[in-house]
Amino acid sequence: PDIIQLVYLLATGIFIIGIKRLGSPATARSGNQLAALGMFIGIVVTLFDQQIISFDYIIGGILLGSAIGAFAAKKVEMTAMPEMVAIFNGFGGGASALVAWGELSRVADPTILAGQDLVTIGLSILIGSITFTGSFIAFGKLQGFISGNPVTFSGQNFFNALLTIVSLVLVGWLAFDPANQLIFWILFGIALLLGMMTVLPIGGADMPVVISLLNSYSGLAASMAGFVINNNLLIISGALVGAAGLILTNIMCKAMNRTLGNVLFGAFGGDNSDSGGPAA
Amino acid sequence: MSGLIFNLFIFVLASFIGFELISKVPPTLHTPLMSGANAISGITIIGAVVVAGQVESEIAQIIGFCAIVFATINVVGGFMVTDRMLEMFKKKD
């Protein structure tokens, strides 16, 4: 009903003010708290949606997720903040992919879904999955589970470009043939692989920039999930984070005298190299 | 089709706002800002609630449940960890 949409509009406004305030030292903490309030309002009002009939899974999921999130946020060392953000971000991206998968499996016969809905489902799965595995690789590199040095092989950029093209073709294919389980699973698998392959060649010292870029992706994934369930609050908040995250990524690159292209494809900035130096 | 076009309008306009919101950010705020924006991207929790709360398909409900757990970790952990960072930031001044 209209009242839910109006509350969503309120939450959207709160998010915009929150992000604005996060950009300045004096107001940053209140900005974060405002954004949290906006999120709380958005979630509570959604529970009154008539589509929502069963509450068992919702309550259980929120309790479990809150416990894990709060525990992790309390325990993490201050020096390990970037990798913690990477993990949280990965879960957010994964959630968007799951929302799209859930919407697809909700209908008994997916061929009744409109082509445009299927495209956004495919994109949400693609971007969400890239964010998921990419964020975990970034976490691994910062924690030292995975070598902080760039992991490269010849033809890597070509291979990644090929994976990207194949995944986009599969998104289109899924829209024409949504009942084909095989296409769905191949798309899911390639998207997960693509997330890993994109972050592996990037050095550990560049991980903060990569996490910021993946944060932008998770915003985009949330926005795509908003197209899937036709929800304005998701579309707007996701787009805000997607765009703001991209600008922040750019600012962080500039602070290191680098370009984003150089960070993503330059394969440098390993543990031993100095991230501000000239390309080898 | 008009629904999609309407959604595209909103998406593009919101993206422009996002681009304009961030201008000069001091380097000390880079990580907290990234973390706070990340928590907001957990808004996908609303999509997860919609999927988990329907009763048409049990499988979709279980997928929705997993999505809620993931998204809630992102939201709760994200806002709390950002607050911790900014709390420290204030003490430094």
pLDDT digit string, tens, across residues B6-53: 999 999 999 999 998 887 888 888 889 999 999 999 999 999 999 999
pLDDT of res. A272? 42
> From A24, which residue of chain B is nearest by alpha-carbon distance?
B25
pLDDT of res. A274? 41
pLDDT > 70? residue A244: yes
Over residues A201-214, the mean pLDDT reads 88
Q: Which residue has the higher pLDDT, A185 or A276?
A: A185
Band of pLDDT at residue A5, cut at 50, 70 and 90: very high
pLDDT of res. A278? 40
pLDDT > 90? residue A33: yes
pLDDT of res. A277? 40
Considering chain A, what percentage of its residues have pLDDT values greater than 90?
61
pLDDT > 90? residue B82: yes
Q: Which residues of B touch A209 (CB under 8 A)?
A: none
pLDDT of res. A267? 61
Over residues A30-59, the mean pLDDT reads 92
Nearest to A92 by CA among A245, A269, A215: A215
Least confidently predicted of A205-209, A212-216, B40-44, B76-80: A205-209
> Which pair of tokens denotes residue B25?
């950010």
Interface test with B, best of A45, A99, A184, A188 (most B CBs within 10 A): A99
For A182-185, which contacts have Cβ atoms below 8 Å and span 24 or more sequence positions? A184/A104
**Alpha carbon of B5: minimum distance to chain A alpha carbons (Å):** 11
Q: Which residues of A touch B74 (CB under 8 A)?
A: 69, 88-89, 91-92, 95
pLDDT of res. A31? 93
Band of pLDDT at residue A275, cut at 50, 70 and 90: very low
Considering chain A, what percentage of its residues have pLDDT values greater than 70?
94
Q: How many residues does chain B have?
A: 93
Interchain contact, B33 vs A23, CB within 8 Å: yes
Rounded Cα distance, A40 and A253, in Å: 33
pLDDT of res. A268? 58
Q: Which residues of A touch B91 (CB under 8 A)?
A: none
pLDDT > 90? residue A269: no
Over residues A231-258, the mean pLDDT reads 91
pLDDT of res. A279? 40
Of A47, A105, A240, the CB nearest to B60: A105
- Single pTM value for the model: 0.91
Question: Mean of the per-residue pLDDT values for chain A?
Answer: 88
pLDDT of res. A273? 42
pLDDT of res. A214? 93
**Alpha carbon of A201: minimum distance to chain B alpha carbons (Å):** 22
pLDDT > 90? residue A1: no
Of B57, B59, B76, the CB nearest to A70: B76
**Alpha carbon of A198: minimum distance to chain B alpha carbons (Å):** 20
Name residues 5-44 of chain B within 8 A of A (Cβ). Answer: 7, 10-12, 14-19, 21-44
Of B47, B53, B77, the CB nearest to A231: B47
**Alpha carbon of A154: minimum distance to chain B alpha carbons (Å):** 33
Over residues A141-160, the mean pLDDT reads 83
Q: Which residues of A touch B80 (CB under 8 A)?
A: 69-70, 73-74
Interchain contact, B86 vs A29, CB within 8 Å: yes
Residue B80's SS3 state is: helix
The contacts of residue A39 (CB under 8 Å, 6+ apart) are: A11, B39, B40, B42, B43, B45, B75, B79
Instruction: Summarize pLDDT for A47-83 with one digit per residue, the tens.
Output: 998 888 889 999 999 999 999 999 999 998 888 888 8
